[in-house]
């Protein structure tokens, strides 16, 4: 499928349709005609369904924000399983605006120009298409055979993906369901580890708001983080080594949060097994580990 655009458009190939469940079509109608087309009249859903049929979408021109959001997710809101789908590739001849591939878990995005930061849950690999950058899902790199080599300085060795390029990314390791690791040398954006079921993510710097939101399992470590860390958690372990914004653990249903900031209501102190885990994961002293608070929803 080829679509030529005379101006960038947001939310192309967005499997959530700009989080349709939040606005019920007021912001984006899946059956609405995509603006700024030349010679075609495709709808937003036409592009998504074409990708679901494992066919490619070629965008001639630039793309706006949130290109390929939740690409490859069989979303439960639309009657799906919540699991990964095999999908076609997105090919963009021009530049792409911010948050490309947010919460993306499968597929490939080729970009002929530049992808504006912050990125989504994507990482660049060696391209098999001349003149294009090639991006794959961080989650998919850890749950399937990687195939292509990563672009330096990022590395994938055995079970650990080391992200060293310093680029800000949102939704790192979204929906990860593999007993593998992501280590970020630097800061992360919003919603790190969203909907993760298993795995290990260590952000060696700070993270944005919604860190660990909807966490289902695995372990997630950050330094300072923004508001709503651990909101709606159902499982897993979130460790905040420094300070957090407000509403930590909001509507939390399960899992455990360890943190050193201001005590949350009904927070306790780690027991001996918790302390040993913190010492091992954070490489800190036993005394420092005892300074953490522990929160488990009642």
Cis geometry, peptide bond prior to residue 13 (ω within 30 degrees of 0): no
Confidence of residue 267 (pLDDT cuts 50, 70, 90): confident
Q: Which fold has domain 152-298?
A: Pectate Lyase C-like (2.160.20)
pLDDT of residue 28: 95
Exposed/middle/buried for 113, CB within 10 Å: 0-12, 13-18, 19+?
A: middle
pLDDT of residue 111: 98
* pLDDT mean across residues, the chain: 95
- pTM for this model (two decimals): 0.95
Dump pLDDT digits (tens) for 66-79. Answer: 999 999 999 999 99
pLDDT of residue 273: 96
Stretch 223-246: mean pLDDT: 95
Among the listed residues 65, 48, 60, 55, the one whose alpha carbon sits nearest the alpha carbon of residue 116:
65
Stretch 231-255: mean pLDDT: 94
pLDDT of residue 261: 76
Between 59 and 268, where is the model more confident?
A: 59
Stretch 253-276: mean pLDDT: 88
Q: Could you tell me the residue ranges of all domains in the chain?
A: 1-151, 152-298
**C-alpha 189: how far from its chain's center?**
9
Asked whether residue 176 carries a pLDDT value surpassing 70, the answer given is yes
Dump pLDDT digits (tens) for 77-119. Answer: 999 999 999 999 999 999 999 999 999 999 999 999 999 999 9
pLDDT of residue 146: 67
Dump pLDDT digits (tens) for 37-47. Answer: 999 999 999 99
């Amino acid at each position: 499928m080829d679509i030529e655009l005379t101006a960038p458009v947001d939310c192309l190939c967005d499997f959530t349709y700009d989080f349709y469940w939040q606005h019920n079509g007021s912001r984006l109608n899946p059956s609405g005609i995509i603006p700024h087309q030349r010679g075609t009249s495709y709808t937003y859903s036409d592009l998504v369904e074409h990708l679901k049929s494992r066919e490619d979408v070629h965008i001639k021109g630039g793309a706006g924000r949130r290109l390929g959001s939740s690409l490859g997710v069989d979303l439960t809101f639309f009657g799906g399983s919540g699991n990964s789908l095999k999908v076609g590739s997105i090919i963009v001849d021009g530049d792409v605006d911010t948050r490309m591939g947010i919460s993306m878990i499968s597929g490939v995005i080729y970009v002929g120009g530049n992808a504006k930061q912050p990125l989504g849950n994507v990482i660049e690999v060696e391209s098999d298409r001349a003149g294009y950058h090639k991006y794959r899902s961080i989650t998919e790199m850890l749950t399937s055979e990687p195939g292509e080599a990563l672009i330096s300085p990022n590395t994938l060795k055995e079970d650990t993906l080391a992200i060293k390029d310093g680029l800000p990314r949102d939704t790192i390791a979204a929906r990860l369901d593999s007993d593998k690791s992501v280590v970020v040398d630097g800061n992360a954006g919003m919603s790190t580890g969203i909907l993760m079921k298993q795995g290990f993510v260590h952000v060696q710097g700070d993270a944005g708001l919604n860190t660990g939101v909807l966490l289902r399992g695995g372990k997630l470590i950050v330094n300072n983080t923004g508001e709503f860390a651990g909101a709606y958690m159902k499982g897993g372990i979130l460790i905040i080594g420094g300070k957090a914004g407000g509403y930590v653990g909001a509507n939390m249903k399960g899992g455990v949060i360890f943190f050193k900031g201001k005590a949350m209501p009904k927070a306790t102190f780690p027991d001996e097994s918790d302390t040993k885990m913190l010492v091992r994961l954070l490489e800190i002293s036993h005394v420092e580990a005892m300074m953490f608070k522990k929160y488990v929803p009642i």
